[in-house]
Structure 1
Amino acid sequence: MEITITAGDGEQTYNGNALTNTEVTVTSGELLEGDELVATATGSATNVADTAEGNNPIAAGYKIMHGDTDVTENYVITAEAGTLTINPVEIELTADSATKEYDGTALTKNTYKITKGAFVGEEGLASVTVEGSQTVVGKSANTITGHTLKENTEAENYTIAYKQENWK
């Protein structure tokens, strides 16, 4: 009797913790009445870089049991690995805006805030470059032009977008 057993899939947004799914199920064919699959998947993914097709393999030694009797030899088994997926955290950085009455001096504010998402644990930004200046009456953009991450922060675990604000 032919059967296919497949390890479970899993998906989560990066959180610094390992994603596992030990579940293995029969996905094609059927077990005879009273037979039971004994199998475990062994994959683990923590970072976005760990995501790969088939990264949740089934451990060697899987078997089909009928009570206390191993009946694996009655089956032709195809084993298929599952896939564990880690998605990046979406972070949005917004340049701060400011206003003041005209006095002939430049209005600058080289600060920002995180307006979407959050870094995990001690991970985060080492620096953010914000550029903008307004001297005359009117509006202009205060723009984030770059950032660097702390050494312990893997870039692929985050998707970082910039949002500008205007001086008034």
Structure 2
Amino acid sequence: MSQTIAFVTGATGTQGGATARELLSAGVKVHALVRDPSSKSAIEIQRLGAQLFPGNFNDISSLKAAITQPLAFNKHEIDLGAESLTPAQIVQELSRVSGVEIRLEFYGEQEAKDLAVRNPKIYAELWANEVGYQVDFEELEKYSIRLTKFSGYLEKHRDEVIQTFA
């Protein structure tokens, strides 16, 4: 069986870079699309084992060179998520890993609606409460995408979690 290859766009940015590093640490071969292969962040990703592909979304040939087995993902909308946790479950895990008892408090419904007018983050949370984050976890199993669960992430970054809540 051939090794899994992940195509990571924005590999020198915050999200793409974190994605590339996590995939590489999991033993996945990474094809990283980068605008400038001589940039400090591109060189760092390459040093970690990624194969760099110079290009951008305006240059279709650069995308074709970086993608392998595109038909496995072609015309598929793939929702990413490892699990769906409630705020109480998140706080419980943070408390467990940090060793600090973390309390959970909620705004009242009207108070939250009033605050949402001025705060887009609260508005997004209200939307999430009504609509929810819809991920078909069974459908996701069809792909070679393996995501880290929240508890696994916290364990991997235990020192940082402890430092954050110290």
- Greater relative CO (CA pairs within 8 A, separation 6+): 1
Whichever structure has more helix as a proportion of its residues is 2
Q: Give your verdict on TM over 0.5.
A: no
Choose between structure 1 and 2: higher strand proportion: 1
**Range of TM-score over shorter length:** under 0.3
Structure 2 length-normalised TM: 0.20
Greater radius of gyration (CA):
1
